[in-house]
Amino acid sequence: MDNKTDVEQNNLGLILGDIGCVYRNNINAHVKDYRLQKEDGNMEWLLEPLDAISHAEEIVLDIFDIESERRELARLYFHARNATQLYVPFDKPFKKPEGVKRIGNTIIFRGEDEIEKVPAPNPFDKAMLIQEPLNIYARDAIPSIWDELLVQFTEVGIWQALLLEETKVPYPQGYYPNYCVYSKADMQQIIDNAQHKYYDFTDDEFDRLEAYYRSLGRNPVEVSRWFKFRKADHERLASFINRDDIMPSVEVNGDKAVVTYCYWSDWEGFCRKIIPVEKYNQTVIFGESDRKVFVEYDCGIIIN
């Protein structure tokens, strides 16, 4: 069990924060027009700052669905360094079974229509390359990158593993709608960006504004969400600049650990994320994360 002094904990936060900054800068250097760029036909550059993570020499990290209209579906995978064969998930053109609908990444069967089963995709082999977008039925055939990665189960190794695990969307990191705190400068940037987000209304003024929007047929719940962030909330947000616990933290206890870091989201506000991690052979498994909201904010923009 970690029994660090405050000084040791603060120093660890600075070390982990520096690693986060280097990792973020590395990603941003490879982002052009919000698209991740490959080098030598692969994504090995993503691992360069992560010296506590390794993999076998004969495989390389790559990504598929990077050109998808829904870029959040992009996913990392490993293939052999000399791979040339293309992965074909189905032997014949795939037709979505009748009675099946998709909601996000969830497949829903309608009653007895489940009789027509989803065909099992062909198995993926690391000697294959993925060049076409994969539908939801074929994506599960692709092994997790954590099946191939070796992670040092130390504070640094666990933190680096989490940084990689959360690199799922090919967007630049550190831009204002979703900003992780790796330094006091990051926290100051969050405070400065939030300066224009609050509305200094009295309760009576807010009631009149809500009534006005209601008269226009707007949803009062949406209106309340837009104007919930007040001057006092921004002042509370600004007070976090003097706190040391906004920096990343990793607490190791045997084969288990807990990672925490703070971030700003335009759809959540200022939060702390808590992620349990467990050692599994020579890699790690991430548990279900939780979060603590310190200052609530919602920009009101709905993302489909």
Mutual angle of helices 184-193 and 231-238, in 10-degree steps = 170
Domain ranges of the chain: 1-55+149-304, 76-148
Q: Cα separation of 43 and 36, whole Å?
A: 9
Do residues 162 and 277 touch, judged by C-beta distance below 8 A?
yes
Q: What is the DSSP letter of 280?
A: E
pTM: 0.83
Question: pLDDT tens track of the chain, all 304 residues?
Answer: 567 787 788 899 999 999 999 998 888 888 766 566 666 678 899 999 999 999 999 999 998 876 655 566 778 999 999 999 999 988 876 665 555 555 554 555 554 444 355 667 889 999 999 987 787 778 888 999 999 999 999 999 999 999 999 876 556 665 544 589 999 999 999 999 888 777 777 778 877 877 887 788 776 666 666 667 888 899 999 999 999 999 999 999 999 999 999 999 888 899 999 999 999 999 999 999 999 999 998 876 665 4
- The pLDDT of residue 113: 46
DSSP 131-144: -S---HHHHTTSPP
The residue type of 51 is D
Please tell me the predicted confidence (pLDDT) of residue 176.
46
Confidence at residue 266, expressed as pLDDT on a 0 to 100 scale: 85
Burial of 89 (0-12, 13-18, 19+ CB in 10 A): buried
